[in-house]
Amino acid sequence: MWVYEKKLQYPVRIKNPNPKMAKYIITQYGGPDGELAASLRYLSQRYHMPIPEAKGVLNDIGTEELAHFEIVGAMVYQLMKGACPEEIKMADMGTYYADHDNAVYPSTGTGVPFTAAYIQSKGDPIADLHEDLAAEQKARATYENLIKLADDPDVIDPLRFLREREIVHFQRFGEVLQKVREYMESKKYF
């Protein structure tokens, strides 16, 4: 089971609302390379991992991604909270506002709702771990794009933290892939 800890893994303190930035960032909440997709991917794939190291890594990174999902949600919440309908219209966020007001909804910036079609759980550990390595790189690239789009240090700071974590996750998945390969080799399993 999971136990909630009443704090963010990394603080989010955005002083100035910015619906345009919210529109960019929300894809990491409910988009194809976002934190919700990451978490569901790893937590679903963990059941079919053959060695304890792999189960541990998928379980724990899947859990950390939930904490990142919360960080991104807090960013969208704070960027939208103080924004007036007029500003939202100017930011081209009117279509989102019509459906969701200032609320936080898992979708892309263009309003495509979250879907499990973003992820796979193949039952083949080698295939799944390759997907995970790619997912971490895509998330890193998305955060780099977002950092380029941002000009507020309150926004850039947590984005940098999230980007760094993707690099660490990529490293751990690479180690797991190596160990799973060795295990399968030792079992003469092709």
Partner 1 sequence: MNHTHADNERRELLEQIRAIEFMTIDLNLYLNTHPNDRRALNEYNYYTRQLQALRKEYEMRYGPLTNFGYSLSQYPWAWINEPWPWEEDHYMEGC
- Sign of the CA dihedral running 68, 71, 77, 79: negative
Q: Is 81 in the site for partner 1 (CB under 8 A)?
A: yes
Least Å distance between CB 117 and partner 1? 28
Q: Is 29 in the site for partner 1 (CB under 8 A)?
A: no
Read off the amino acid at residue 115.
T
Binding mask 33-72 for partner 1 (x = CB under 8 A): --------------------x--xx--xx--x-----x--
Per DSSP, 102 falls in state: T
185 has which bridge partners?
none
Least Å distance between CB 42 and partner 1? 12
Token digits of residue 171 = 């490293």
Least Å distance between CB 46 and partner 1? 12
Binding mask 131-170 for partner 1 (x = CB under 8 A): -------------------------------------xx-
Output the CA–CA distances (angstroms, integers) from residue 142 to 35, 87, 94, 162, 169, in the order listed: 11, 25, 23, 10, 15
* DSSP per residue, 134-154: HHHHHHHHHHHHHHHH---HH
Least Å distance between CB 134 and Fe ion? 12
Binding site for Fe ion (CB under 5 A): 166, 169
